[in-house]
């Protein structure tokens, strides 16, 4: 959601008006996405009950140094939130929708040490 804000400054010559387009900042939107409008090409679960990761058609930037697989993101599917994320990713995969989200900048998941770790949420975008 965008809001137009009018900013006025008083100078020797009178009022100068600047129009600024500002984002309404909500806690979930304070950080730029580490992956944005990415297609989901693969959703994988491993033998470890926590291990789930997905492959996208774009690169995660920035990502931790341990994440050599630059277009994969892992998450813990054993939690209720992880189960919801898994469902959302399967929906995006099946429908061809795009996803956006953030990763942990310093850590990779212990169960899949070469992918970025999802940090927070992932969202389906148009």
Q: Mean pLDDT in each 10-residue stretch from start to end of the chain (126 residues)?
A: 44 40 34 86 94 96 94 96 96 96 94 94 89
At residue 126, the pLDDT reads 77
Domains and CATH numbers, the chain: 32-125 (2.40.50.50)
The Cα 115–Cα 75 span in angstroms is: 10
Beta bridge partners of 74: 53, 117
At residue 32, the pLDDT reads 61
22: Cα separation from own chain's centroid: 21
Placement of tokens 């990713």 in the chain: 89
At residue 11, the pLDDT reads 53
At residue 33, the pLDDT reads 76
The Cα 69–Cα 113 span in angstroms is: 10
The Cα 54–Cα 124 span in angstroms is: 14
Q: Is the CB of residue 31 less than 8 Å from the CB of residue 102?
A: yes
Name the pairing type of β-strands 72-76 and 116-125. parallel
């Amino acid at each position: 959601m965008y809001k137009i804000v009018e900013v006025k400054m008083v100078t020797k010559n009178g009022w100068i008006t600047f129009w600024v387009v500002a984002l309404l900042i909500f806690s979930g939107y304070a950080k730029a996405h580490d992956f944005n409008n990415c297609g989901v090409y693969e959703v994988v679960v491993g033998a470890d009950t926590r291990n789930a990761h997905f492959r996208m058609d774009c690169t995660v930037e920035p990502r931790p140094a341990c994440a050599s697989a630059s277009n994969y993101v892992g998450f813990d599917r054993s939690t209720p939130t992880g189960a919801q994320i898994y469902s959302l990713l399967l929906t995006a995969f099946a429908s061809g929708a795009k996803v956006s989200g953030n990763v942990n900048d310093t850590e990779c998941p212990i169960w899949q040490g070469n992918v970025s770790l999802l940090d927070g949420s992932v969202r389906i975008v148009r």
